[in-house]
Homo-oligomer: A and B are copies of this chain.
Amino acid sequence: MLSMGLREKKAQRNRDRIIAEAMALFGGSGIGYESTTMEVIAEAADISPSTLYRYFPTKDSIVLASLMRNTAKFSEVFAQRVKELPVERALAEAIFAVLAVEDAEPKHALMVRSILSQSPVARARLWDYLGELQFQLTRQLAECLGKKPDDLSINLTARIALEVLMAAADIWRDSKGKVSSRGTAAQFMRLLREGVVLFPDAGTEDVSKGAVLKKSTKKSPVRKIESRLRSR
C-alpha cells in the first residue's frame, strides 16, 4: 500500500513527460508558448487532450509546475536555517538558495522567464503563487519573532524579502544572465541595511489625516492618539 502502484507510477511518468515535452515546445527550440496548442502537447506526450486536461487543468499550470520546483526552496530553506541562525541570516540564505537554483540551471530559468513574458496568464499564476509565499513567510516570521501575523513590520519584512528576490531575478533576466543574481540581491540587502529608504521623517500626519487604525473610535479630539499609536 505504501509503495506506489502501477497506477501512480504511470501517472508520475505522464506528468513528467508532459512537462518535459511542453517546455521543449514552449521555449528554446520550440514554437513558442502561444502557438503551442494543448492538442499538440497532448500528441507529443502520447495522450489524448482530455487526459492532458485531467493532468493540467490549464496551459499555464504546466509552466507553473516547472517554476514551483525552484521557488519551493524558499520556505524550505528558511524553515530549516532559522533553527540555528538569526532570522535575518536565514532570510538572506533562503533568498540566495532560490537564486542559486536558477544560477545552476540558467537555460531552464531563462526559458521559464521567456514563457512568462509571453503569457499574461502565466504571470498571473506566478503572482498568485508569490502571494501565497508571502502569506506563508509572514506566518513563519511571526512565529520566530513572537509577533502576531498581522503585525505591520512583519508584513513589510516579508514583502520586501520577496521583492528583493524578484528584483534580483528580474535584473538577472534583463541582463540575460550576465550579472549575478545573488550579487544583486546582496547589494539590495546592503542598501536596505544602510537605509536608502526615501521617506520623510515628519509631516506625514497632515497628509494622512484621519488615518486612525482599527477600532479607534470616531472621537474627533483624539488627534494625539495618532502619534501615540505610531510612536510605539
Identify the A interface with B (CB < 8 A). Answer: 86-89, 91-93, 96, 120-121, 123-125, 127-128, 145-146, 152-153, 155-157, 159-161, 163, 167, 171, 178-180, 182-201, 203-205, 207-208, 210-214, 216, 220, 223, 225-226, 229-230, 232
Contacts and interface: CB of A to CB of B under 8 A. Distances in A.
B179 A189 contact: no
Given A88-B199, A153-B191, A180-B210, 13 more contacts: A87-B198, A92-B199, A121-B121, A145-B230, A146-B232, A156-B188, A157-B197, A159-B163, A160-B197, A179-B214, A182-B210, A186-B205, A194-B220
A137 B30 CA distance: 36
Going nearest first, the 3 A-B pairs with the smallest beta carbon separation are: A183-B211, A124-B124, A120-B124
B184 A230 contact: no
18 contacts: A91-B198, A92-B200, A92-B207, A121-B124, A127-B127, A152-B187, A152-B188, A153-B196, A156-B192, A157-B198, A159-B163, A179-B213, A183-B212, A186-B208, A186-B230, A187-B216, A187-B230, A189-B199
A123 B191 CA distance: 30
Contacts of A204: 92, 186, 189-190
A27 to B, nearest CB: 19
A167 B171 contact: no
Contact of A183 (B155, B191, B208): B208
Given A93-B207, A160-B163, A213 B180 contact: yes
Contacts of A123: 124, 127-128
Nearest to A150: B171
B198 A88 contact: yes
Contacts of A87: 198
Nearest to A97: B207
A195 to B, nearest CB: 6
Contacts of A207: 92-93, 96, 182, 186
A163 B229 CA distance: 20
Given A123-B127, A182-B211, A199-B192, A88 B229 contact: yes
A186 to B, nearest CB: 4
A200 to B, nearest CB: 5
